[in-house]
């Protein structure tokens, strides 16, 4: 695997179908599962690693975002990446971006309502990755469900000739969705953090048993959080393609939750399909290596 710093040097390493996995690094098994999914479907797997300042609405969150390029390069290579595109800020933003990329119809609610500017920052950087790296396939996690809706619509609306593929959420054995920010969870907060996935999984069971009311499904999640002493920023049943709230499960949707647990803001969701099974994500059968370093 080669580490590259420019769009041109990255493209020079291509052969055949190119699969892109955009990331902000500090890899966990969720990232590695995306790389493995790309490896199965593409001839060249490019992983991009860029901590994009434009998508951080909180400067403190950007300053402490975990980084470890050497470790990430080893993990990406072992998972089947051919190229790790890790550009310096000057390659991504040679000048302040005058262009604005935003998808207001998909960004008004959920994360868009609680992290002002975040999704616009994602849209700009993903548009630049699509244009600069020109992949045939782009792999994103369902963990960031609204982001997945946005980057899918971005490609369609701007005619980027690529297919976006959404991949299941990787979870710890106890249900906690993997996240680079989990290293900041105090050990005493972990039990409370589990209420997010517990509530979502209970709601997925209810949906599979026939429950269609958004209020009821959302209430199951809110009740689990309340039991753990947490207040959700939001719990919302949303149309999977538009990330807008819907009153009833009458189409493919996701049930999403965001909450602060101690010093960490966590998000999680399950995808629900009234015609079939819920996607609860995939569980590791052992503790994540994120915690193995004793962080």
CB contact at 8 A, 40 and 165 = no
Give the closest residue to 179 by CA, choosing from 51, 22, 25.
25
Per-residue string for binding with ligand AMP, 139-168, x by CB under 6 A?
A: -xx-xx----------------------x-
Active site residue 118: no
Give the range of 31-39, 63-71, 88-96, 255-263 binding ligand AMP by CB under 6 A. Answer: 31-39
Radius of gyration (Cα) for the chain, nearest Å? 19
Per-residue string for binding with ligand AMP, 105-144, x by CB under 6 A?
A: -----------------------------------xx-xx
Secondary structure class of 213 (helix, strand, coil): strand
Say how far apart CA 34 and CA 22 lie, in whole Å.
9
HEC assignment per residue over 229-248: CCCEEEEEEEECCCCCECCE
Q: Least CB distance from residue 136 to ligand AMP, whole Å? A: 17
Applying CB under 6 A, among 10, 44, 146, 169 the residue interacting with ligand AMP is 169
Say how far apart CA 250 and CA 273 lie, in whole Å.
8
Applying CB under 6 A, among 18, 150, 170, 192 the residue interacting with ligand AMP is 170
Number of residues counted as binding ligand AMP (CB under 6 A): 17
* DSSP state, residue 140: E
Q: Which residues contribute to the site for ligand AMP (CB under 6 A)? A: 23-24, 30-31, 33-34, 140-141, 143-144, 167, 169-170, 177-180
Catalytic residue IDs: 31
């Amino acid at each position: 695997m080669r580490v590259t710093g420019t769009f041109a040097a990255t493209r020079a390493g291509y052969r055949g179908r190119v699969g892109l996995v955009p990331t902000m690094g500090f890899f966990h098994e969720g990232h590695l599962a995306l790389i493995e999914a790309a490896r199965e479907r593409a001839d060249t797997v490019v992983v991009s690693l860029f901590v994009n300042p434009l998508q951080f609405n909180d400067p403190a969150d950007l300053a402490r975002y975990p980084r470890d390029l050497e470790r990430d390069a080893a993990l990406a290579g072992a998972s089947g990446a051919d190229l790790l595109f890790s550009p310096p800020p000057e390659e991504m933003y040679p000048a302040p971006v005058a262009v604005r990329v935003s998808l207001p119809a998909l960004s008004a609610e959920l994360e868009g309502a609680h992290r002002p500017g975040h999704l616009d920052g994602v849209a700009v950087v993903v548009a630049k990755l699509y244009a600069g790296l020109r992949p045939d396939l782009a792999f994103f996690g369902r963990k960031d469900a609204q982001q997945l809706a946005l980057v899918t619509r971005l490609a369609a609306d701007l005619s980027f000739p690529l297919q976006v593929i959404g991949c299941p959420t990787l979870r710890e054995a106890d249900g906690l969705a993997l996240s680079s920010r989990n290293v900041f969870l105090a050990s005493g907060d972990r039990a409370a953090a589990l209420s997010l996935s517990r509530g979502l999984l209970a709601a997925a069971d209810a949906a599979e048993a026939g429950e269609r009311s958004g209020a009821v499904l959302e209430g199951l999640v809110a009740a689990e959080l309340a039991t753990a002493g947490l207040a959700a920023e939001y719990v919302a049943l949303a149309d999977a393609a538009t990330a807008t709230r819907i009153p009833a499960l009458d189409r493919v949707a996701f049930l999403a939750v965001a909450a602060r647990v101690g010093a960490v803001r966590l998000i999680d969701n399950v995808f629900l399909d009234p015609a079939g099974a819920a996607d609860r994500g995939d569980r590791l059968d052992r503790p994540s290596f994120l915690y193995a370093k004793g962080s």
